[in-house]
Chains A and B, each alone.
Chain A
Amino acid sequence: MTIGAESLAAVGGAVALAGGLGGAAMGMAIAGYKGVATLAEQPQHLRSVIILAALPMSRVFYGLIAMVLIISIVVPKIAAMPDPGGSGFAVLACCIIAAFAFGFSGMYQGTVCGSGISSLIKTRGRILTNALVLAVFVELIAVLGLVFTIMALSILGLM
């Protein structure tokens, strides 16, 4: 069995989405543990807990954007490249950027959101804005991962 260049590129898209799903799952779990402990003490913080615990979920959609772009735009272009096999492998390499960015930023955004959730009771919910500001810093890294993946594919002439 020979692995085709298009299928290697499809693996790349799948790896990007898998990284997003893995990061989102871990981040939401880390924030969710703290959320349960907070809600056990003060159930009225449910709204803030849901906002903070749902933040790492955005990685799934970034991963989906990467996969849809690769399957719909990049894969049809590979056959026309001068070196299709090498281009397929290069697409997989570029998607490793996205996978690492989504996986790790999702996980560590979960720790920031979890700390915010733990502090909700002490500050009577006022920490929400500051926790969101700090979580957005980690979000930015995931967005940069998506943008730089698309940029690398453009430099290679695949997008």
Chain B
Amino acid sequence: MIISPESLAVLGGAIALAGGLTGSSIGVGWAGSPAVHTLTEDPGQLRNVIVLVSLPMTQTFYGLIVLILILTRVVPNIAAMPDPGGNGFAVFACGIIAACAESFSAAYQGAICGSGISMLPKTKGAILTNAVMLAVFVELLGVLGLVFTIMALTMLGLF
């Protein structure tokens, strides 16, 4: 059995989404543990806690965008390329960009959100804006991973 280039491209899209889901799980888990302790001290912070805990979940959807783009736009283009086998592997390689970007940015966004959640009782909720601002910096890396994956696929002529 020979692995076809299309199925390698599907694997690239799949690891992009798998990275997003992994990172979101770790991030929400890391933010959720301090959240329980914060709610133990001050149950009135539930609204702010939910805002911060749900931030790392967005990386799942960036991974999903990469998967859908690869399955619907890139895979049909591969057969027409001059070197289909090499292009299938190149799509897999581009999927690694997205997978690493989404997984690490979501996990460490969870770390920032967890720190913000721990500070909520001390600051009576005033830290929310600053914590969201710092979390957006990490979010930016997830967005950049998505954009650069699409850029790499475009430069290869696959998109």
Interface on A for B, CB 8 Å cutoff? 2-5, 8, 83, 85-90, 93-94, 96-97, 99-101, 104-105, 107-109, 111-112, 114-116, 118-119, 122-123, 126-127, 130-131, 133-135, 137-138, 140-142, 144-145, 148, 152, 155-156
Q: Is the CB of A130 within 8 A of B46?
A: yes
Q: Is the CB of B22 within 8 A of A134?
A: no
Tell me if B135 counts as interface (CB < 8 A to partner A).
no
Q: Is the CB of B32 within 8 A of A85?
A: no
Neighbour of A90 across the interface among B7, B39, B43, CB < 8 A:
B7
Q: Is the CB of A101 within 8 A of B21?
A: yes
Top 6 closest pairs, chain A to chain B, by CB: A108-B29, A86-B4, A112-B32, A104-B25, A93-B11, A100-B18
Interface of A, secondary structure class, is helix
Most chain A Cβ neighbours within 10 Å, of B10, B34, B46: B10
Looking across the interface, which residue of chain A has its beta carbon closest to that of B34?
Answer: A115
Neighbour of B3 across the interface among A85, A118, A119, CB < 8 A:
A85
10 more contacts with CB within 8 A, not counting A101-B25, A116-B36, A134-B53, are A83-B6, A86-B4, A88-B7, A90-B6, A90-B7, A101-B21, A133-B50, A134-B49, A137-B54, A141-B57
Looking across the interface, which residue of chain A has its beta carbon closest to that of B49?
Answer: A134
Take A4-B1, A131-B36 as given contacts and tell me if A152 and B67 are in contact as well, using a CB distance cutoff of 8 Å.
Answer: yes
Q: Is the CB of B3 within 8 A of A107?
A: no
Q: Is the CB of A122 within 8 A of B2?
A: no
Chain B residue contacts of A5, Cβ below 8 A: 1
Q: Is the CB of A156 within 8 A of B10?
A: yes
Q: Is the CB of A115 within 8 A of B32?
A: yes
Q: Is the CB of A138 within 8 A of B10?
A: no
Q: Is the CB of A90 within 8 A of B35?
A: no
Neighbour of B39 across the interface among A130, A138, A140, A152, CB < 8 A:
A130
| Interfacial residues of chain B within 1-47, with CB under 8 A of chain A in the complex | 1-4, 6-8, 10-11, 13-15, 17-19, 21-22, 24-26, 28-30, 32-37, 39-40, 43, 46
A142 to B64, CA, bound (A): 14
A145 to B53, CA, bound (A): 18
Q: How close is A95's CB to chain B, nearest CB, in angstroms? A: 8
Tell me if B72 counts as interface (CB < 8 A to partner A).
yes
